[in-house]
Amino acid sequence: MIKDYRILFILALAGFVLLGASLFKAFDQDFTKHQKNYYKQLDVEDYTVEIKQVNVKTPGKVLIDRCQSCHIGASNPDAAGFEPPLAAHPPIVPGVEKDPHDFAKIGCVVCHDGSGRDLDIHAAHGELHGWPAPLLKGEIAQANCVRCHAMEDGTLAGAEHYVKGQELFLEKACWGCHTIAGISSSSQAPELTDAGGKFSFDYLVESMVDPSANIANSKMPTFGWVHDEETVAAIATYLKGQQKDRLRSADSAPIGYIKPKSDLARIDSPSVAAGRSLFAGAPYEGSVAKGGCVNCHAIRNSDGDLAGGNIGPELTWTIRSRGSKYVKEHIVNSRSHVADSIMPTFKDYNDAELESLVSYLSTLDYKLGSKTDGPKLYDTYCVSCHGEDLNGEGKIAAMLDPLPRDFSKYQFVASYDKRFKDSIRDGVKGTAMPAWKDIMSDQQIETLVGFIKDKSLSGHDGFRRMEVTLPAIGDKERQDYRNKGLVVEAGNPEDGHEAFQKFCTSCHGKLANGKGPNAYDLEHPLPRNLINAAFMNQAAVNDARLYESILLGVAGTPMPAHDHLSDQTILDIIAFIRANTTEEAK
Amino acid sequence: MNELIEMAKEFGTKLYYSFFRHRLDNTGLTKSKIMFSNVLLHIQPVKIHKRSVKFKTTMGLGLITFYLFLILSVTGILLMFHYVPSTAIGPDGLPDAYSRMLNLRSNVFWGGFLRNMHRWAAHGMVAFVALHMLRVYLAGAHRGGREFNWVIGCILGLLTVFLSYTGYLLPWDQLAFWGVKVGTEIAKIAPGGALIRGILLGDTDVGSEALIRFYVLHVAVLPAVMGFLIAVHFFRIRKDGGLAKPADTSKEKQIPDEEFGEVKNNSVFKSARSYKLVEIVKGKEPKVNEEVDQMMFAWPKLIVRELIVLLGVVAFLSLISVLFDAPLEGPADPNHPTNPSKAPWYFLGLQELVSYHGFIGGIVIPGILAAGVMVLPYIEIFFESFTKTYRKNIPGVWFAKERNLENALFIGMYLFMLSLIIIGVYFRGQNWDTIYPWVHEVTGGGH
């Protein structure tokens, strides 16, 4: 029994000690220690340790701000040399006698975010998991300047980091895809007008450095500059500053609140120099740059040195292969030529700006000599899309749709001889493959085809593809092979639709856009987009080719043979596909 | 002077006897009176079987659960002084309910500790309910006239889970919102679940109405029902003769009599132990057999041991609450689901099952388990009656050989649920993909 009393006594003691510990924890707060230290350093004898709270009243809300309980020396110049958190805040506005920001009135949270009412360092700095506004340290805090201030003439003293981010947003062509109200309008990618209100700084950085980190199927390219921390930090600061929910309105902004200039200075007479500036995303004669093609597209100078982004096709030969009309249309609406292009629509460009770009691109004249051998030709013209191993996985291939042809599938190379050369000479409409006839001579094309064939077919025995011909309608000799005795009739799109839903949609999708459920498991090349009108309506894609591809499959691709279908069914499917694209063309 | 002391003594005595109706000495009479003349009699009898105070008998699991309920009531009432069940956006730009959580963390003295106590006690209570149930089953204490008390216990268990679940929403942070959202989405799968969900939420989705309803359920309705059922639960144990025990306990090793404290015999019958005859229960003849020797005064041994458990629970909870803060994430945002979104841990086994098949995993299996466990003693009786395989039921004995099959099945069910919960808590990452906790950080809730 005595033992029980002892246990009871010990537990009672332990309980009191632990309750005491909880009280001690409630009393023992960091700010007490910091304030004592602060007054000791200042040699102040007579002081009270207290919570310093600022209630920042704004039209919308009240920011509770107790940061200066620890950061007690923030506005005391005598504390300039103290260790953090006691040190004085460095000047915000450079070159003024007395900084206009009074921390006793505006507190800290206004600029630095975090959780103002918390006194525990981790909670206050917003480090706990899931806190929507983690602390913004140092230069990053400039993101919040625009919560109160307007940007007069696009600049604000002391917000250099933010201004740099704004310039980079234009220079790096972010504006091409992302909308920020008043700056750009594009529906390609998520709108960023409230980016800072929705996302934390770290999230914004992460989304730039690794676009698929947060959204697994993000289409955003990984740009070459993402390894430059300074650039990324500046852009992220600018984006963090994009908040719909501002603390001040036009009436109460501390510095005149001028609406952002929506009509920026524009280029009004075309010139090569203006085109070059637009291409590079640099300002041109006072106009704020709104270009930046170079972020995605590379070009070659006359010595053949390549420079630029690895996201879109190289533009050295574009004017020669596509013509200036095509290029202009493509800038304004790329989908008018290539149905699945990811290139943003730059519909805001005026004629002079388009003309400038085209004239700049026309100055690119790099060309290989007529005696060039196959490997050199391939490495110059083809490698960026079709890849060093001829496997269609060149460095820009990932962003192209349809994907570049994979020549390592020798069955394909062996099967289509004429079509192969024609595609190089005349290009393939509706895809990124241009016509090379104005750049390469027939001789060079022969050399190139020879090179690819040698490399692709070496080590393989030959491959021979069956030959089939398109059944002629009403031909008594050529009867439908499954329903023997029936004469094939002209294809009926409605029957074709039914057959398509039955046999084709798993890969080509219900919309026939090549995005069926099974397409996601397939690898290079992916199912054809059958409503890509430009592709479907070119001369090379005739009914005979469609018939052959459906019946026998396409060599070296996931498209299987469909010899279980009757001729009539195949003709119906072709009629359905055709009906789709003529509809589209209208 | 002496007179004054006498008067003071008299006053003191009167004062004492106005509070208590017994002396404080070692006589059997006093020991009886301490129980009999105090409110203690409502909880404990005057005399208890010796094995009741042995740790092995119950491990104190039911008692711990009850203490956690008391602690939750006390801390809960204190927290109610600081809480508003409102999602309205306050002047600080945050929902009121969430803002109150921040206040508890930062402004309210001792508020963080209170919240920690409440949170960890709530999780603890769910866990101890489960352990208590396991103990009762493995010791065969659900049979022998106690079948209906088992059913009440099961209802209490479900109430505990539901109380914990309704409380889970109240902080109105991301963890709360999405944890509750997941749970209510599972309810949709059940036939009629959408209606029940609608009644519970008061809306088509978790929102301000749901917060108020969950709050009222959490602070008023459920605790009241629970308090009443606890009373019934305890009452029936008393009427069933205390803790379940085998008919013959004379062979069991017991705590020696000396340990129960000395009992001075002040009876006029010096040779006889007259107090033995106190034990008269209606419907049973006075106990004069061997068992009477096994009965001991509840005071002080039992009461002290119960206090030990209480202090142990308080001390342990205080320690946990000083060391670990209750989680609080960003304010609830219906537009930004956390990935993964995990329900509280006791529902994660369910969520894991749902990830395999909505209806079978979310409704059929847990439904069969919950209903089956509740009527388990009756299922046993049914089989025994209809197959005439009467087994000798030995209540109060751990792992009785006669019950090996039942015990193995019951333990198997516990292990099944436990492994599902462990998988759900530690091995599920974004998009419910399998992760390994030693490779990836475990996020998404569950606690």
| Tens digits of residue pLDDT in A324-363 | 899 999 998 888 888 888 888 888 888 888 999 999 999 8
Q: What is the pLDDT of residues B174-208, one digit of tens each?
A: 889 988 888 888 888 888 888 989 998 988 889 99
Report the C-alpha gap between A296 and A313 in whole angstroms.
Answer: 8
Residue B21 inside a domain? The answer is no
Closest residue of chain B to A213, computed from CA coordinates: B430
Determine, for residues B92 and A66 on separate chains, whether the beta-carbon distance falls below 8 Å: no
Determine, for residues B308 and A8 on separate chains, whether the beta-carbon distance falls below 8 Å: yes
Confidence (pLDDT) at A129: 78
CATH number at A227 reads 1.10.760.10
B307 in A contact zone (CB under 8 Å) = yes
Question: Measured between CA atoms, how close is A4 to chain B, in angstroms?
Answer: 7
Kind plus residue range of the DSSP H or E element containing A557? none
Question: Measured between CA atoms, how close is A232 to chain B, in angstroms?
Answer: 25
Residue A576 inside a domain? The answer is yes
Residue A477 inside a domain? The answer is no
Confidence (pLDDT) at B317: 94
Tell which A residues from 19 to 48 touch B, by Cβ distance under 8 Å: 19, 21-23, 25-26
Residue A475 inside a domain? The answer is no
Question: Of the candidates B107, B258, B329, which has its C-beta nearest A129's C-beta?
Answer: B329
Is the pLDDT score of A566 beyond 90? no
Question: Of the candidates B106, B305, B307, which has its C-beta nearest A118's C-beta?
Answer: B106
Determine, for residues A120 and B174 on separate chains, whether the beta-carbon distance falls below 8 Å: no
Determine, for residues B110 and A118 on separate chains, whether the beta-carbon distance falls below 8 Å: no
Confidence (pLDDT) at B69: 96
Q: What is the mean pLDDT of residues A36-60?
A: 87
Q: What is the pLDDT of residues A152-181, one digit of tens each?
A: 566 777 888 888 898 888 888 888 888 888
Determine, for residues A19 and B318 on separate chains, whether the beta-carbon distance falls below 8 Å: yes
Determine, for residues A131 and B318 on separate chains, whether the beta-carbon distance falls below 8 Å: no
Confidence (pLDDT) at B83: 94
Residue B8 inside a domain? The answer is no
Residue A6 inside a domain? The answer is no
One domain for residues A42 and A128: yes
Confidence (pLDDT) at B232: 95
* Chain A residues within 8 A of B108 when measuring between CB atoms: none
Tell which A residues from 60 to 89 touch B, by Cβ distance under 8 Å: 60-64, 66
* Chain B residues within 8 A of A21 when measuring between CB atoms: 318, 322
Determine, for residues B312 and A5 on separate chains, whether the beta-carbon distance falls below 8 Å: no
* Chain B residues within 8 A of A22 when measuring between CB atoms: 110, 113, 318, 321-322
CATH number at B315 reads 1.20.810.10
> How many domains, chain A?
5
Q: What is the mean pLDDT of residues B5-26?
A: 91
Determine, for residues A4 and B305 on separate chains, whether the beta-carbon distance falls below 8 Å: yes
At B274, is the pLDDT very low, low, confident or very high (cuts 50, 70, 90)? very low
Report the C-alpha gap between B384 and B397 in whole angstroms.
Answer: 20
Tell which B residues from 206 to 225 touch A, by Cβ distance under 8 Å: none
Tell which B residues from 10 to 29 touch A, by Cβ distance under 8 Å: none
Higher per-residue confidence, B9 vs A417 = B9
A194 in B contact zone (CB under 8 Å) = no
Determine, for residues A120 and B106 on separate chains, whether the beta-carbon distance falls below 8 Å: yes
Confidence (pLDDT) at B211: 94
Report the C-alpha gap between A493 and A575 in whole angstroms.
Answer: 5
Confidence (pLDDT) at B189: 82
Question: Measured between CA atoms, how close is B318 to chain A, in angstroms?
Answer: 6
Residue A368 inside a domain? The answer is no
Structural domain range at position A219: 142-240
Question: Of the candidates B112, B259, B322, which has its C-beta nearest A21's C-beta?
Answer: B322
Residue B397 inside a domain? The answer is yes
Residue B262 inside a domain? The answer is no
Determine, for residues B318 and A22 on separate chains, whether the beta-carbon distance falls below 8 Å: yes
Is the pLDDT score of B283 beyond 50? no
Closest residue of chain B to A133, computed from CA coordinates: B330
A129 in B contact zone (CB under 8 Å) = yes
End-of-domain residue from the set A362, A393, A427: A362
Residue A245 inside a domain? The answer is no
Confidence (pLDDT) at B277: 47
Q: What ipTM score was computed for the predicted complex, to two decimals?
A: 0.82
* Chain A residues within 8 A of B321 when measuring between CB atoms: 22
Residue B210 inside a domain? The answer is yes
End-of-domain residue from the set A407, A440, A457: A457
Structural domain range at position B391: 55-243+306-432
Confidence (pLDDT) at B412: 94
Is the pLDDT score of B265 beyond 80? no
Report the C-alpha gap between A470 and A486 in whole angstroms.
Answer: 16
Confidence (pLDDT) at A204: 92
Q: Which of A325-334, A459-468, B71-80, B159-168 has the lowest mean pLDDT?
A: A459-468
Q: What is the mean pLDDT of chain B?
A: 87
One domain for residues A379 and A401: yes
One domain for residues A74 and A166: no
Residue B354 inside a domain? The answer is yes
* Chain A residues within 8 A of B322 when measuring between CB atoms: 18, 21-22, 25
One domain for residues A383 and A347: no
Is the pLDDT score of B290 beyond 60? no
Confidence (pLDDT) at A249: 66
Confidence (pLDDT) at A255: 57
Residue B108 inside a domain? The answer is yes
Tell which A residues from 340 to 379 touch B, by Cβ distance under 8 Å: none
Question: Of the candidates A3, A5, A123, which has its C-beta nearest B105's C-beta?
Answer: A123
Q: What is the pLDDT of residues A268-322, one digit of tens each?
A: 888 888 888 888 888 777 666 678 888 889 998 888 888 888 888 999 888 988 8
Report the C-alpha gap between B19 and B38 in whole angstroms.
Answer: 10
Confidence (pLDDT) at B308: 93
Is the pLDDT score of B275 beyond 50? no
Question: Measured between CA atoms, how close is A73 to chain B, in angstroms?
Answer: 22
Residue A77 inside a domain? The answer is yes
* Chain A residues within 8 A of B337 when measuring between CB atoms: none
Q: Is the distance from CB of A63 to CB of A55 less than 8 angstroms?
A: yes
Q: Which of A460-469, B100-109, B425-434 has the lowest mean pLDDT?
A: A460-469
* Chain A residues within 8 A of B318 when measuring between CB atoms: 15, 18-19, 21-22
Report the C-alpha gap between A306 and A301 in whole angstroms.
Answer: 7
Higher per-residue confidence, A257 vs B53 = B53
CATH number at A412 reads 1.10.760
Determine, for residues B307 and A8 on separate chains, whether the beta-carbon distance falls below 8 Å: yes
Q: What is the pLDDT of residues B405-422, one digit of tens each?
A: 889 999 999 999 999 999
* Chain B residues within 8 A of A64 when measuring between CB atoms: 92
One domain for residues A341 and A379: no
Is the pLDDT score of A261 beyond 80? no
* Chain A residues within 8 A of B341 when measuring between CB atoms: none
Kind plus residue range of the DSSP H or E element containing A63? strand A62-65
Determine, for residues B110 and A23 on separate chains, whether the beta-carbon distance falls below 8 Å: yes
Residue A205 inside a domain? The answer is yes
Residue B377 inside a domain? The answer is yes
* Chain B residues within 8 A of A14 when measuring between CB atoms: 311, 315
A444 in B contact zone (CB under 8 Å) = no
Coil vs helix vs strand at A488: coil
Q: What is the mean pLDDT of residues A494-505?
A: 91
At B11, is the pLDDT very low, low, confident or very high (cuts 50, 70, 90)? very high
Is the pLDDT score of B77 beyond 90? yes
Question: Measured between CA atoms, how close is B63 to chain A, in angstroms?
Answer: 16
Write phi, then psi, for A62 (nearest 5 degrees): -115, 125
> How many domains, chain B?
1
Is the pLDDT score of A419 beyond 60? yes
Q: What is the mean pLDDT of chain A?
A: 85
Q: What is the pLDDT of residues B129-150, one digit of tens each?
A: 999 999 999 998 888 889 999 9
- Cβ neighbour number for residue A255 with a 10 Å cutoff: 15
Determine, for residues A21 and B318 on separate chains, whether the beta-carbon distance falls below 8 Å: yes
Is the pLDDT score of A206 beyond 60? yes
A56 in B contact zone (CB under 8 Å) = no
Determine, for residues B315 and A11 on separate chains, whether the beta-carbon distance falls below 8 Å: yes
Question: How would you class A302 by CB atoms within 10 Å of its CB: exposed for 0-12, middle for 13-18, buried for 19 or more?
Answer: exposed
